[in-house]
Amino acid sequence: MVATARERIRETRSLATQASVRLPKPRVVLALAGIETRKILIHPAFLGTMAVMGLFATRAVGSNASLGWLVGGLSVGLVAGGFISVNLATQRARRGHVLELFGSLPAPAESRTFAVLLAAVFGPVALSVLVGAVGGAMLEANATSAPYVDIWLIVQIPLTVAALNALGVALGRWIPSPVTAPVVLVAQVMTGLVWVVPWVAPTSTGIHMGSHLTYLVGFIVLASTLALARDRRTPLRLIVTGVAFGLTVYGAATQLPPGGLI
């Protein structure tokens, strides 16, 4: 029985897509990124999550609803919807049972991972910059919310989208399941992790902004290198991953003031 199991493992490995042995060509990555950007932005998970969160935000405040609340809801939908749609985009080849076909093409399999990471920048991250700028201007014009809004709060929105999108790609490469992204989102809220290690927090809460931004940038690099490591592991990537992990842990551990956020 053991011999049979070993033989099956050898056969599976021999038929699996081989690891990349050459660097992806920028022209190929850009072409794939353009396709992936369109698919991500029109994906039902992306559009549906933004619509639901925008509707929830405006309905939750009732008669006090305003365009600012709508933009806030859309921002949350953008973060969650981008995370889910990018995660699903990373798994598209597996769901379509074409991984072996991609492995036979001249372009290395690594090209698709690069392309989805870049598509996240071209799509959800770029859109979050616009939403953050418009939403920040609207909140600044409101006397109630103006004290809580500053440039650092606006900067955190695209960084958060980029961080969660990179995490979505990493999870899609290492844990390829359609339920992975929703489970991770629910776990963050239900376990309170999002409050212990917040993604977005205004300076008025007392958060150490330098450490917080270090945490976000470190997490983006860490998740991106982990996603690429599924295709190929190189000494440089291992070093970058280690440094990014250290920065992420340092930023997460030092961003909260004594006693927690206000």
- What does the pLDDT look like over 200-217, one tens digit per residue? 888 878 889 999 999 999
C-alpha to C-alpha distance for 61 and 68, rounded to whole angstroms:
11
Please name which of 21, 11, 34, 36 lies closest in space to residue 169, comparing C-alpha atoms. Answer: 36
Q: What angle do CA 143, 148, 153 make, to 5 degrees?
A: 130
- Give me the residue label for tokens 């799509």: 123
What's at 234, amino acid-wise? Answer: T
Residues 201-232: b if buried by 16+ CB within 10 A, e if exposed: bbeeeebbbebbbbbbbbbbbbbbbbbbbbbb
Q: 151 pLDDT exceeds 60?
A: yes
Distance of CA 110 to the CA centre of its chain: 18
pLDDT tens column, 50-93: 888 877 766 655 545 555 566 677 788 888 999 999 999 998 87
| pLDDT given at position 15 | 46
Of 130 and 96, the structure prediction assigns the larger pLDDT to 130
C-alpha to C-alpha distance for 236 and 227, rounded to whole angstroms:
14
| pLDDT given at position 42 | 92
The Cα diameter of the chain in Å comes to 73
> Which helix (H) or strand (E) covers residue 231, if one does?
none
| pLDDT given at position 150 | 76
Q: In 96-208, which ranges are continuous DSSP H helix?
A: 99-103, 110-120, 126-140, 151-174, 180-190, 193-196
| pLDDT given at position 20 | 53
Residues 79-107: b if buried by 16+ CB within 10 A, e if exposed: bbbbbbbbbbbbbebeeeeeeeeebeeeb
| pLDDT given at position 3 | 65
| pLDDT given at position 123 | 93
Q: Judge whether 135 and 68 are in contact, CB under 8 Å.
A: yes
- Give me the residue label for tokens 């600044």: 140
pLDDT tens column, 155-185: 898 999 999 999 999 999 999 888 999 999 9
DSSP letters, 22-42, are SPPPHHHHHHHHHHHHHHHHT
- Give me the residue label for tokens 């998970």: 45
Q: Judge whether 91 and 169 are in contact, CB under 8 Å.
A: no
The domains of the chain are located at 23-192
pTM, entire model: 0.83
Quote the radius of gyration of the chain (alpha carbons, Å). Answer: 20
Backbone angles phi, psi at 104, to 5 degrees: -90, -5
Of 84 and 6, the structure prediction assigns the larger pLDDT to 84
pLDDT tens column, 123-145: 999 999 988 787 777 766 666 66
